[in-house]
A = this chain, B = another copy of it.
Amino acid sequence: MNSSKLLDKAVEQFASLPGIGRKTALKFVLHLLKKNAADVDAFLQSIADLKRNIRECRICHNIADDDLCEICADRKRDTSVVCVVENIKDILSIEATSQYNGLYHVLGGIISPMDGIGPADLHIQSLVERIEQEEIREVIFALSATIEGDTTGYYIFKKLKHKEELIISTIAKGISIGNDLEYTDELTLGRSIVNRVKFSMNE
């Protein structure tokens, strides 16, 4: 397609990234061509290093540079609360809110019979063991508000409900901040009325 096979190959590789077409891929490649060799080497090295050296946290299955991820290794975090998420992207999203100081547990997916993913494919057993062995006060489900998310939460809930002192909670569902009621779907709006909270001027 272009006048250089080397260029074509690099463009093709960038175009395989999610959401990137050939035009944007070409822009990236031409950008790298303009950079000096050391900068391009640093670019390539960072990806090679990541791919070669990245590990999975022994406790929570988050990605980690060592045996433990930085969150599990952080002495300042509240080790008595575990937030259960589907994948590491969800950890990043929750961390970005600065509203949570506990630990995490990455399931590595969600129960989805349609996609052939059952409980055994997820890190559920290690979560149950973690709760049996460690002093955990509360488990928070931060799963998608979908049938699969609810199913997964319910499955784990059944595995944990015998622990009488354990608090099992799930993140609140309601209207998005900044959203008009008019454009909120009925299910969400209904849930937000049922789960209403005491009005406070601080919110």
Contacts and interface: CB of A to CB of B under 8 A. Distances in A.
Interface stretch (A3-11, A137-145, A159-167, A175-183): A3-11
Contact of A64 (B3, B31, B71): B3
Contacts of A113: none
A16 B34 CA distance: 13
Given A5-B65, A28-B17, A37-B51, A46 B91 contact: no
Contacts of A91: 3
A7 to B, nearest CB: 6
Contact of A62 (B3, B5, B9, B12): B3
A13 B27 contact: no
Interface string A17-52: 111000010111111110001001011101111110
B71 A3 contact: yes
Contacts of A95: 2-3
Nearest to A74: B3
A54 interface: yes
A70 interface: yes
Contacts of A71: 3
Contacts of A63: 3-4, 7, 33
A187 to B, nearest CB: 27
A30 B26 CA distance: 21
Contacts of A10: 46-47, 49-50
Contact of A24 (B6, B19, B69): B19
B18 A49 contact: no
Contacts of A5: 65
11 contacts: A3-B69, A6-B46, A6-B53, A6-B65, A13-B42, A33-B51, A33-B63, A37-B51, A40-B47, A40-B48, A44-B44
